[in-house]
Structure formats: structure tokens, C-alpha cells
Copies of this chain bind each other. A is one copy, B any other.
Amino acid sequence: MAGDKSAPLWERLERPSPAPRQTLSSQRIATTAVAIADGEGLEAITMRRLAAELGVAPMAPYRYVSGKDDLLELMVDHVYADLRLPRGLDWRESLRTLAVQTRELMLQHRWLAQLSPRAKLSLTPNRMTVAEQALVALDGLDLDADTMMSVFRTVDAYVHGALSYESAVSTVISEQSLSGGDELRDELAPLMMWHMRTGRYPTFQHYLRTATRKDDTSWQFDLGLDCLLDGIATRFGI
């Protein structure tokens, strides 16, 4: 735009002077990208879209991230900075808090559940910190290193699995501009009816008719989490 040689000199003089340098930074790229993904989902993340949002040419962000994969890693690290584990809790309270906070993080940034295998394994500073804190919470309980890590990863697996589902529901609801679980079920009703008419799923059908907490996702999450922590506590006598 600023280098448009075909424009008359006088028009060019009218234009605002070129933006001061250093308009971009990893920070700004990360926050902008996260804002896009939070608002419109992971598929709205496009190098071109990001550049447009930054007010910059499509290729400009490539100075700061080597490609889209890099961008995703940057975003992940950026949001994980919000996880803060309070000190002075016992192992169970620590893991529980971590789980609940991770849930909140993943509900706020639903795209976290859709990362590529690469991005899932990315060793970013803020994720390392989370792992360290979890391991610290499990230290001094006479568990060997493998067991400590396994306990942490088990809780982490439950959280990620639960939120994979929870955030998928939430994503579909928002993609279709529905108001909640009820409207989603309305949307799915024809298909569900079709399945039920086959008569192959009587127990499922009974659930559909009698359940009353279908959308109480916090209750479901907490219930599962507490079962898991119970099991861990008794198995290792801690």
C-alpha cells in the first residue's frame, strides 16, 4: 500500500507516514492469535488472517515464527502462563487444583483440545513449569520417579479427555450459535430418534428419558476427578 508507485505524489504525501518499526513482536502475535482462536475457533487461525488482524502483510509474522506450527506453540505457551498453582497444599489438593484450573483454561481456550500431535507434545516453558509443580506436589511421598510421573499423567489424561469432550460440545454449540445443551440436543434429535427407533439401544434410551443432569458438566467432571484421586490415594497409601 505504502509502496504503491502508481499513486500520485500528492496522494502519497497525504498518507500517514510509514508505521514505526517494530510493529510486531512475539507477544503481540501471540495475544492476537489467541484472541482470534478464542473468538472464532482454531480454524479461523490463518497466517493471512493473523497478519490482517495485526495490520500487516501476510508474510510479516514469519519473521517471528517459522511457520504455523511455531505459531501454535507460541499460543499454547502464552495461555499456559495463566496457570498458577498456589503453594502449601498437600499432593491431593495440588493435583485437584491443577486439574480444575486446567479445565478452566481449556474451557476458556477451547482450541487447546484440538492441537496437532506436534503441538500436544511441545515442551514450552510454561508447560514445563506446570509439570514441575505437579511433580513437586508429589515429592516426598516415597513414590519412585516413574510412579510420580504416572500419577501426574493419569490425572492429566483424565482432564484432557474430559475436556476433549466438554469443549467439543461447547465448540459445536458456539459454531451453530445455539444457546446450550438443550438446543444442541434439539438439533441432534432427528438423528437420535432415528437411532432409537432401531430399538438397539434400550438402556441408552432409558438414560435419555430419566437423566436430569445431562448438562451439569462441572458435577460430572468433579465426580470423575474425585473417583480418580480416591483411587490414587488408596493404591499408594498416601
Contacts and interface: CB of A to CB of B under 8 A. Distances in A.
A212 interface: yes
Contacts of A145: 206-207, 210-212
Contact of A139 (B165, B175, B192, B203): B203
A120 B164 contact: yes
How many copies, total?
A: 2
A213 B120 contact: no
A231 B223 contact: no
Contact of A228 (B150, B156, B228): B228
A97 interface: no
B120 A165 contact: yes
Contacts of A169: 117, 121
A46 interface: no
Interface of A: 110, 113-114, 116-118, 120-121, 123, 125, 128-129, 131-132, 135-136, 139, 144-150, 153-154, 156-162, 164-165, 167-169, 171-172, 175, 188, 191-192, 195, 200-204, 206-207, 210-214, 216, 219-220, 223-224, 226-232, 234-235
Given A117-B167, A128-B201, 9 more contacts: A120-B165, A123-B191, A129-B200, A132-B201, A132-B203, A154-B224, A161-B162, A227-B235, A230-B235
